[in-house]
Structures are given as structure tokens and as C-alpha cells.
Amino acid sequence: MATHDPDLRKELDATLQTRKDLGAEYESELVESFLEKLDRTVERRVRRQLAEQQMQVARGARPQPREGGTTDFWERFGVAALSLALAIPLSAIAAGNAGLPGLLVCWAGIIGVNAVHSLSLRSLLRTRTERRGEDWE
């Protein structure tokens, strides 16, 4: 399910245009700013999905079971693969413009995005497991 956020797309276009206008010396700051906005967007979407699921459960709907956790695996795999694919050019930009500190900040952002995703999945799975336990009582 690929959904394109028009606001995020506009933000990326604006960042790229600003990079053209200001030059390469501001590239690391522009990349960092865009990554922060991307992180907030991902966090907002995860929160919205969790809120929607909680509303469904509150209304009595049962969450759809996943077969053997395969969807969880592919979701984790997709995020990890995308992170690594984006890490290559981001690392080059960060290291080229800011050296080792820039590279460390870049990887901290990449690790942060993966950690937030992983924690949100664990929280969701834990909640499902707890609900299943309540059904047996």
C-alpha cells in the first residue's frame, strides 16, 4: 500500500530547490531538516494507525489476525531494506559535507527511524497478545 503524502512531496521539492539556491555548503542542514520532518510524518502516521485500531477494538471489532507473523516480517524487512538503501546516499552527503560528526548524526537518524518502527510493532503485537489472553479468561 503505497500512499504518497503531497505535503511531504512539496517539502522534498522545496528542500531540493533550496539546495540549488543555497549551494552544497548547506546540504547537510537541509538533509537533517528534511529527515526530521520525515520522522515526524512517520510518527504521526503510526500514532494515527494505532488510534484507529484502538477505536475499532473499543467498538468491539477484533483485529485481523496475521498468518504466522509473515506480514510483520515483511514489514520489518521492507523498512530495514529501505533504510539501508537510503543510508548509502545520505551517508555520502553527510560525510562529504560534515565529516565524521555529520555521518554520526545521519546514522543516528537512520537508527532512530528503525527503532521507532520496531517499538511500534512490538507495542502493537504485545497489545494483541494481551487481548488474546483476556479472551480466554
Model pTM? 0.42
Domain ranges of the chain: 70-132
Radius of gyration of the chain from Cα atoms?
19
> In what helix (H) or strand (E) does residue 5 lie, and over which residues does it extend?
none
Rounded mean pLDDT, 55-84: 70
Rounded mean pLDDT, 91-115: 90
What proportion of the chain, given as a percentage, has pLDDT over 90?
7
pLDDT at 104: 93
Q: Which of 2-6, 42-46, 63-67 has the highest mean pLDDT?
A: 42-46
What proportion of the chain, given as a percentage, has pLDDT over 70?
77
How open is the CA angle 48-127-81, to the nearest 5 degrees? 65
Rounded mean pLDDT, 50-57: 82
Closest among 60, 75, 80, 81 to 124, alpha carbons compared: 75
Give backbone dihedrals phi and psi of 67, rounded to 5 degrees, phi first: -75, 105
